[in-house]
Amino acid sequence: MRSYHEPVLLTSAIEGLKVSPGGRYVDATFGGGGHSELILKSLGQGKLIAFDQDKDAQANVPDDNRVIFLNQNFRYLKNFLKLYAELPVDGILADLGVSSHQFDEPLRGFSTRHNGPLDMRMSREASFSAKEIVNEYEAEKLADIFFQYGELRNAKKIAALIEKHRNEQSFKTTMQLTEALKNLAPRGKENKFFAQVFQALRIEDNQELEALKDFLQQSAEVLRPGGRLVVISYHSLEDRLVKHFMRSGNFRDEIEKDFFGNPLTPLVPIGKTIMPEPQEQEKNSRARSARLRIAEKRE
């Protein structure tokens, strides 16, 4: 499991869930099963429902009759919990982003470190990939993606250069893309630049922010009163959505109140944002940008 994915903030995340031995819990991003493994140690006769849209994760599912594994996107959380009669739940955990396995597998096309196909699909069943985005999107739409999802100030230049190159030859591999854009990468910050380019394409390809919004809204609905939601995010776009929803119940971060001035928010944030200790960041580079937030369903 650890070779597949090294879980970030593992102990803090499970402590945040407050696992009850007879409870019902959701691991919305199963991956290598590291978080699930620790949940199961505290679970007793309870139930764990695990989601992961990547079929590769299924190889890590333990032979345990307390586990229901669903090869599905967590944006369908409510529908599948209802289908399996597992409502309400006592806690939900989501470790967002890309797994170490997906980054390390060249054929998945997620990493700038390897040459591979321009893919970036979290679910291999999806018909649309980063290749279609790069080769078929109009330059204006590409620029919007790089600006919004990659937070790149030179987004228009990136889009224009992609359009120029693809008119001569379509993009098929990650190396073709990085080679075409290398002159736009700031000197000394090349790795960060390409990470932002790839992040933007990945978010668009998998509709990650829309899926996260669906997941957060449904989480508030399926949790029992007093149940916990624990989310680990890795970039500001994700973290902002999580923070706003936990605090206000919407993504505008506007707290609505009833006639008596009581906040109409489904969740109550618990404690402060948790970040990895320096030792964990040193051991696991992916942990450097991690942010863990915890909220509880109102009684």
Poorest-pLDDT segment among 86-90, 230-234, 286-290: 286-290
pLDDT at 4: 61
pLDDT for 284-299, tens place per residue? 887 889 999 999 999 8
pLDDT for 170-193, tens place per residue? 999 999 999 999 999 999 999 999
Task: State the pLDDT confidence band at 19, using cuts at 50, 70 and 90.
Answer: very high
Q: Do residues 202 and 212 share a domain?
A: no
Q: How much of the chain exceeds pLDDT 70, in percent? A: 98
Task: State the pLDDT confidence band at 5, using cuts at 50, 70 and 90.
Answer: low
Q: Do residues 230 and 278 share a domain?
A: yes
Q: Do residues 77 and 120 share a domain?
A: no
Q: Do residues 191 and 58 share a domain?
A: no
Q: Which residues pair with 295 in a beta bridge?
A: 229, 269
Q: Do residues 86 and 221 share a domain?
A: yes
Is residue 219 situated within a structural domain?
A: yes
Is residue 4 situated within a structural domain?
A: no
Q: Do residues 159 and 72 share a domain?
A: no
pLDDT at 99: 75
Q: Do residues 115 and 202 share a domain?
A: yes
pLDDT at 110: 86
Q: Do residues 16 and 94 share a domain?
A: yes
Is residue 253 situated within a structural domain?
A: yes
Is residue 125 situated within a structural domain?
A: yes
**Residue range 76-104: mean pLDDT, rounded:** 92
Count structural domains, the chain.
2
Is residue 106 situated within a structural domain?
A: no
| Entry field: residues in the chain | 299
Which CATH number is 28's domain given? 3.40.50.150
Q: Do residues 158 and 229 share a domain?
A: no
Q: Which of 171, 191, 206 is the last residue of a domain?
A: 206
Strand segments, DSSP code E, in the chain are: 24-27, 47-51, 67-70, 89-95, 223-233, 267-269, 291-297
Phi and psi dihedrals of 283, rounded to 5? -75, -35
pLDDT for 110-154, tens place per residue? 888 889 999 999 998 888 999 999 999 999 999 999 999 999 999
Cis bond before residue 88 (omega within 30° of 0):
yes
Which CATH number is 199's domain given? 1.10.150.170
**Residue range 58-70: mean pLDDT, rounded:** 96
Q: Do residues 119 and 92 share a domain?
A: no
pLDDT for 122-131, tens place per residue? 998 888 999 9
Range of the domain at 196: 111-206
Q: Which two tokens stand for residue 299?
A: 């009684």
Is residue 25 situated within a structural domain?
A: yes
Is residue 1 situated within a structural domain?
A: no
pLDDT at 96: 95
